[in-house]
Structure 1
């Protein structure tokens, strides 16, 4: 885990900066509550969200996860909600029937306090920029605006690029 992210949060909450960009690799989105998975040891994005809830009294956080692979660990951690705040999780990824980890379907919506706060966008292989832009413009951004998070965290994978030789998405650098 990279503690510079926590420093960013502190500076934002004090009004010293309005936003921050931290490059933390890997995002850890395959690690769940009980185990490491998919080359991920710590779920950095989940740690960051819980830090905001527990230590900074933030009430609402949204996480956008875009990657060829579903953010199954992050989904697992927040599937039943957080005891400390409200979390909205979006994962846009290649259809789980065609790639690891085989999860991230539209019927996986959360339960208990998390019900309706898990939103998956499984996409067919070779889906391009037009699909992802439409999903975020027409669905993710309006839902996020209605949710009114105090922080938006991004778990960004790089394997959605059309030149990636191991996966099959069609995104460009747009």
Structure 2
């Protein structure tokens, strides 16, 4: 069913991120497993006929373990050296570049739709930014779409990270 957690792996499973939990989405008339490109590096998938295995957690305890330990966002770094396993690739990079091009403007309907698609997994009110251009009609820039998504993803109650630290030794600048 849509939204259920499923486990996917590709043989041989040599390291922990080789098996990951994904949210399922059942598509009518489709007989293949699909996954985002960003998750393919963990499986060493190169799209040359790779065989993937799909497992279904059988009880609530297994489902909670999947949700807590091995979802894709918990498998971002390799245990070996901390290198990232996921990242923006292909279409995601192109979309980011096209959104941030100077002069790329969107009407309200398109702005709201793009923000909602980016925030579809979050069940919370979305704060939107005021338009960049007010007249002759209200327009939002592509950079505002990126800013809206980032501002809604960062928890408001937590302080943002800074690089200012208190030390017991005074630093001397040469």
Structure-2-length-normalised TM-score: 0.24
TM-score with structure 1 length normalisation?
0.24
- The structure in which a higher percent of residues are strand is 1
Higher relative contact order (CA 8 A, sep 6+): 1
